[in-house]
Amino acid sequence: MRKVLLSVYLLALACQFGATAEEKMSPSTQNFLRSYESTPTMQRAKLKSTYAVDQENSQTIVSAFLHLNDENDLEGLADNGVTVNAQYGTILSVRIPADNLEAVSQLPSVEYIEIGRPVHKLMNTVRSAAFANVDALHAGTGLTQAYTGKDVVVGIIDGGFQYNHINFYDTAGENLRVKRVWNQNATGTPPSGYYYGREYTTSESIVSAKQDMTDCHATHVAGIAAGAYHGNEYYGVAPDADLVFVSYNLYDTSSSNTSISDGIKYIYDYAESVGKPCVINMSLGYHIGPHDGTSTFDRICDSLQGEGRLLVGAAGNEAETNIHVKKTLTTDDSSLKTLVDLGQNQNTTVDIWGDANKTLSVKVIVYDTRNQKEVYTSSEFSTATSTSKQISSPTGTYGEVYIATATDPNNQKGNITIDMNVIPMSSYYHVGFEVSATEECTVNAWTNTPYTAFSNFGISGFTNGDNDSSMGEIGGTGNRIISVGAYTSSNYIEHRNSSMYNQSYQTVDQLATFSSHGPTADGRMKPDIAAPGTMIVSSYNSSTCSTSRSDYYATVVGQYYVNGTNYYYGSMEGTSMAAPVVTGVLATWLQARPTLTPEQVREVFAKSAKTDSYTGSIAGVGNNQWGYGKIDAYNGLVYCLNELSGIEETGAPTRSMVYPNPAAESCYFVLPSDDQQVTVALYSLNGAQVLNLYAGDVVAGEQRAVSLNGIAPGIYLMRITGEKNQITTKLTVK
């Protein structure tokens, strides 16, 4: 039981927390600061259960998105201990000492601070024609070549990697395909330009590091997308792709959505440095945010994606829980009242959003469902001004409730965040809230902790929760992110060490009952596509399943002895498994079409996805359960090759492209803007020029060929020079 803190000290701290600081902080940031100030120094480690914090040299450090008034004005940040990891225009990904949060918020250069929030983790028959239809790509059936993700970078942001698993070598088991690893929670030398974690850049260092943590999630996900070991039938969709891993710590919540955006940029930057297209997988999620594509994270992701840069996310596994509540308030019915069913949890976060330019007001309540009466009602808080409040042990509970309000600068929507860390005195007592508005306004709210839900407990006048709009903020709501739902390709598998997990309650070919669905808060269809996601067999991290005391021992399907080492495979299910199926498929499509955009991917889905009696008649239209239907890798690739809208029809690229890389007899380049007097030169690493080509005038988006006949295999620098463009990139000739 948490000790209740009631003292004059708290009141003094509250008075010190000025309105100016609050107005420049998101509700989550306000709640953190309240919680931080009211928690004794020796107990601040507890804050990691809710907020993205870390300890460095006896200081509490928070990760955050920092919004600037001017992208070139960084004045005062360094003086307040702010470390900048990445910049996206006026948005910075930073680390800030908690003691300096208020001072940073009051800098003239700072518009808004959003503290990061922790993110949760969310092949046997999969490749067959009956399901994802990948095997025909690998065989090159009816095609001029096989498509296996060759010369494409597959990035995985996750936790629980066994870096040296046999599945991450080539099909011969000889050469490691993992080109880079950034373990964001290790100590050592971080990547250039970043100030945390440890980077591994050689096969020797990656193999020596072995793993990031004792979990299987990332090893399983990466194996589905791009596993290559052919000693069993469980290899992945893009077995010839290059791999880049960003290790996000699933259990140390000092990691957050800011760490993920840094990881996305890191992977794309690597892919660009080697001149290859890239697709990134995020089988992670949480439910704090507007769910309409306007969050800072979604905006950053939109800006980073483009030609040859794709991003795939898991829709989420919350469709069996009423994590969402919604009501349109009117002058005749101007409030929404609901209660939170904490289940077995003690804490959760509730995030409430209104319409743009509409003011919301909220009260925290504690309701006795047996006697049907409110035993506690707080004062009212409005989004008209940014405010924050700590409520200690509201009647009927032990613990704290933190509530904060603000208007989000990204979308002008009123936002209320309630962090609950309470124990009800009775099973009949439930914490909830009442939201009201003075004009018509639609209110949406989500709970963030697994297995918590909104409920009316059968009480008249209260709104029950639902499972609509249950897709997660990471991967499920972005305008350009490809969001993936799960359907059932298998509901029975033989496990090596136990029979208790052999059977799934899912129906083959039907949408998985846990698969989250849309629409988004702004009415867009989500997910975009569905893929196999139940009882999927893929690689396991050996340290987590090799003995009966291991966490994943009971779900091991096979053990394989290769070159003196045992490697393990096991089964998991979730949209976390469906997303990498699509990631691997997109890698094969990028091999065929290196400049593929997110918008073109959706075009391919609309034209090629499978529909049947389970999906219903949704061909070309889609719905909020299935997206456009079931992924069809082969027919999608054929569409990419033969019928996909050209670059000319979708606008000029946002960056230069040179592909394929490595190249053999020829390669192509594409420029982001029209240019004149363009020349292409190739230099060996000792500076000798081996090729000089005059290309003349080049139109933006035009694919121009460069003959490599007579060029010896090796690594070169290609320099493309025009009146506007000056581009240098590495090119491997094979």
**Percentage of the residues of the chain whose pLDDT score is greater than 90:** 65
Averaged pLDDT, 610-635: 95
pLDDT at 53: 72
pLDDT at 120: 54
Say whether 324-455 and 120-318+473-611+628-642 share the same fold.
no
In the predicted structure, residue 121 carries a pLDDT above the cut 60: no
Whether omega before 713 lies within 30 degrees of 0, making that bond cis, reads: no
- Looking at domain 655-733, its CATH architecture is Sandwich (2.60)
Q: Are 357 and 412 in contact (CB under 8 A)?
A: yes
Average pLDDT score, the chain: 88
Q: pLDDT confidence of 335, banded at 50, 70, 90?
A: very high
Averaged pLDDT, 68-97: 90
pLDDT at 21: 63
Phi, psi angles (nearest 5°) of residue 22: -60, -40
Provide CB contacts within 8 A for 503, sequence distance 6+: 491, 492
Global pTM exceeds 0.75: yes
> Does the domain at residues 120-318+473-611+628-642 carry the CATH identifier 3.40.50.800?
no
User: Mind listing the pLDDT tens digit for each residue in 675-716?
Assistant: 899 999 998 877 788 999 999 998 877 778 899 999 998 888
Closest Cα to residue 663, out of 718, 732, 730?
Answer: 732
In the predicted structure, residue 222 carries a pLDDT above the cut 70: yes
Strands 361-368 and 429-436: antiparallel
Task: Report the SS3 class of residue 92.
Answer: strand
pLDDT at 13: 36
Q: Where are the beta strands (DSSP E) in 43-146?
A: 53-56, 59-68, 83-88, 91-97, 110-115, 120-121
In the predicted structure, residue 652 carries a pLDDT above the cut 80: no
Is the alpha carbon torsion for 63, 68, 73, 79 positive or negative?
A: negative
Domain ranges of the chain: 8-115, 120-318+473-611+628-642, 324-455, 655-733
Closest Cα to residue 497, out of 570, 574, 564?
Answer: 570
**Percentage of the residues of the chain whose pLDDT score is greater than 70:** 92
Q: Where are the beta strands (DSSP E) in 563-622?
A: 565-572
- Looking at domain 8-115, its CATH architecture is 2-Layer Sandwich (3.30)
Provide CB contacts within 8 A for 699, sequence distance 6+: 674
Q: pLDDT confidence of 49, banded at 50, 70, 90?
A: low
Q: Are 622 and 628 in contact (CB under 8 A)?
A: yes
In the predicted structure, residue 19 carries a pLDDT above the cut 50: no
Cα 35 from Cα 19, distance rounded (Å): 17
Q: pLDDT confidence of 664, banded at 50, 70, 90?
A: confident
In the predicted structure, residue 369 carries a pLDDT above the cut 50: yes
Averaged pLDDT, 350-372: 96
3-state SS, 521-577, equals CCCCCCCCEEEECCCEEEEECHHHCCCCCCCCHHHEEEEEEECCEEEEEEEECCHHH
**324-455 CATH fold:** Jelly Rolls (2.60.120)
Cα 443 from Cα 43, distance rounded (Å): 36
In the predicted structure, residue 647 carries a pLDDT above the cut 80: no
In the predicted structure, residue 645 carries a pLDDT above the cut 70: no
User: Mind listing the pLDDT tens digit for each residue in 176-201?
Assistant: 999 999 999 899 999 998 989 999 99
